[in-house]
Amino acid sequence: MGYVNCEVNGYVATLTINRPEALNALNEDVLKDLEAAFDGIDQNAVRCVIVTGAGEKSFVAGADIGAMSTMTKAEGEKFGKFGNDIFRKIETFPLPVIAAVNGFALGGGNELAMSCDIRLCSAKAMFGQPEVGLGITPGFGGTQRLGRIIGIGKAKEMVFGGRNIKADEAYRIGLVNAVYDSIEDLMAAANKMASGIAAQAPIAVRNCKKAMNEGLQVDMDAAIVIEEKLFGDCFETEDQKAGMGNFLEKDKEKKLKVVPFQNK
């Protein structure tokens, strides 16, 4: 996995996209390594994933423009599907995924960040979908996810105008949850958030992600049925017995007693 490093610390896996000489631009090999890194995560041992970029400058500066420059229509569509399938895998990955955006998140970089559950960034981060300036549309989910996250009017402004935005604006419009002064502060905050998530009952956290993601795709009547099923699914698990038992026993160390995730 040459282009993506995976480091596991406790319950948290950090995946670092490592092609700094091209500002971590996504070519086919980088995308393959990213998918392999997710496939390689031990979901019984890890409870939260952080995705970030190597270097001080860039999260991901987009899909590789050199590689795309000679594509035919058919090749363009195929490459779009290739990236979309991987980003959809990240979006539906059973564990929560936090994007720690340490610099440029442009085009495919912003699309990668948007396929993660939560986005945090450093003050120097920059976000955008500049594809129209290159003569193409966003192709890794940007025309679909941006509007769902920040609202369709703002998303159209960003996509039609190809205007990049700085961290403070990204925060103001709800594209990121928080901005940190330095990359060190960003990574510390991402790890703290990931550890906080990892300290919760893991089956419940997974079911929350599934319920929230799947519920957004359907109408409210269908959405609450999704919730009911995933809510019910938590019962009789060791997590539920321990979690509620701790409360009833007034155990102050209750979080420590929630058992590790077990396949059901």
List the catalytic residues. Answer: 111, 131
Kindly state whether residue 134 participates in binding ligand CO8, applying the rule CB under 6 A: yes
Q: Is 114 in contact with 158 (CB distance < 8 Å)?
A: no
Kindly state whether residue 165 participates in binding ligand CO8, applying the rule CB under 6 A: no
Question: What is the distance between the terminal CA atoms of the chain, rounded to a whole angstrom?
Answer: 30
**39 or 56, CB closer to ligand CO8?**
56
**106 or 158, CB closer to ligand CO8?**
106
- DSSP per residue, 26-70: B-HHHHHHHHHHHHTS-TTT--EEEEEESSSSEEE--B-HHHHTT
Q: How far apart are CA 122 and CA 22, in angstroms?
A: 20
Residue 166, Cβ density class (10 Å: 0-12 exposed, 13-18 middle, ≥19 buried): middle
**83 or 96, CB closer to ligand CO8?**
83
**23 or 159, CB closer to ligand CO8?**
23
Q: How far apart are CA 202 and CA 237, in angstroms?
A: 11
Kindly state whether residue 6 participates in binding ligand CO8, applying the rule CB under 6 A: no
Kindly state whether residue 23 participates in binding ligand CO8, applying the rule CB under 6 A: yes
Kindly state whether residue 31 participates in binding ligand CO8, applying the rule CB under 6 A: no
φ and ψ at residue 82, rounded to 5 degrees: -60, -50
Q: Which residues of 232-246 are buried (b: 16+ CB within 10 A; e: fewer)?
A: ebbeebebbebbeeb
Kindly state whether residue 55 participates in binding ligand CO8, applying the rule CB under 6 A: no
Only one residue has tokens 């393959």, namely 32
Kindly state whether residue 146 participates in binding ligand CO8, applying the rule CB under 6 A: no
Site for ligand CO8 in 173-212 (CB under 6 A): none
Q: Is 37 in contact with 74 (CB distance < 8 Å)?
A: no
Handedness of CA 195, 199, 202, 205 (dihedral sign): negative
Helix (H/G/I), strand (E/B), else coil: 131: helix
Kindly state whether residue 118 participates in binding ligand CO8, applying the rule CB under 6 A: no
Judged by CB under 6 A, the stretch of 38-46, 75-83, 180-188, 208-216 that binds ligand CO8 is: 75-83
Among the listed residues 140, 171, 180, 261, the single contact to ligand CO8 using CB under 6 A: 140
Instruction: Give the total of residues touching ligand CO8 (CB under 6 A).
Output: 24
Kindly state whether residue 65 participates in binding ligand CO8, applying the rule CB under 6 A: yes
Distances (CA, A) of 143 to 73, 76, 128: 18, 16, 12
Kindly state whether residue 107 participates in binding ligand CO8, applying the rule CB under 6 A: yes
Among the listed residues 15, 61, 105, 113, the single contact to ligand CO8 using CB under 6 A: 61
**64 or 239, CB closer to ligand CO8?**
64
Site residues (vs ligand CO8, CB under 6 A): 22-23, 25, 61-66, 68, 76, 79-80, 83, 104, 106-108, 130-131, 134, 138-140
